[in-house]
Structure 1
């Protein structure tokens, strides 16, 4: 039985940049709404609006190829994961996902990476980095199984 198919109540940590990555995570609502959850995303208007009734921890940005943000988000991930002890970490990217997957693995959390919809046959940088760490990789196009052989194609989240 895959991690996504689990029906037991669990604590889920949803990690992603604001904008499209956050929209992808939010589209998984049929799954995450059944579970205790917390969000880690940028403190931006779209995230504040979409997640106004959710438990949110802001992360540092910009993250794209920023060593400073990676270090700050690694310390943040350590604090959040030790305090919250999620059973499962789910992310659609981007870079903020990396420290959560690395430290989550060390702390015993399971992880699912969902490659974004607009990647049909090429991986994202985040996808390449977390692929060896993730317990489950989800793609939305059959072509992506050539990129991520151990992935599960669940089709579009839209």
Structure 2
């Protein structure tokens, strides 16, 4: 089993690393926006992509192309992300390629899903929230995943 785990640097990356026990026995390939983060996952394959956001559409397109190539090359069984824009782009690429997708919305979004989470909700296979009040027909609350 191979997983591609994608998150921006900062809190999104910290949340992703808290999921490490769930990947036990799997090959994990990581992608983030800071090449220095490769030191936090020594022994695993790591890719660095530029950061982007909704205010720079050209950069989003550029990282989507890079992530599409990474997903196509790595052929993971599923792609998981805790956010933000690069994770969303990776999940879009995976979905186009017929690969299972999982979004875990940031623990900081207590009153509503993050913007990326609201976009991901439209196409991902699974979307998890950290908050029971946000759960619903398409939003899964399965306890405090990242605490």
TM-score, length basis structure 2? 0.91
Structure 1 residues without counterparts, runs of 5 or longer: 1-9
The answer as to whether partners of 2:105 and 2:114 remain within 8 angstroms in 1 is: yes
The answer as to whether partners of 1:18 and 1:44 remain within 8 angstroms in 2 is: no
Picking from 28, 53, 56, the partner of 1:37 is 28
Name segments (4+ residues, structure 1) moved above 6 Å: none
Q: Over the residues paired in the alignment, what is the CA RMSD in angstroms?
A: 1.4
Cα displacement (A) at 1:68: 2.4
- Other-structure match for 2:6: 15
Structure 2 residues without counterparts, runs of 5 or longer: none
Query: Match of 2:47, SS?
Result: strand
- Other-structure match for 1:3: none
Q: Give the length in aligned residue pairs.
A: 145
Deviates more, 1:99-108 or 1:18-27: 99-108
- Other-structure match for 1:58: 48
Q: Does 1:155 align with 2:143?
A: yes
In the TM superposition, 1:6-155 aligns within 5 A as 10-45=1-36, 47-61=37-51, 63-65=52-54, 66-145=56-135, 149-155=137-143
The CA distance in 1 between the partners of 2:43 and 2:116, in whole Å, is 28
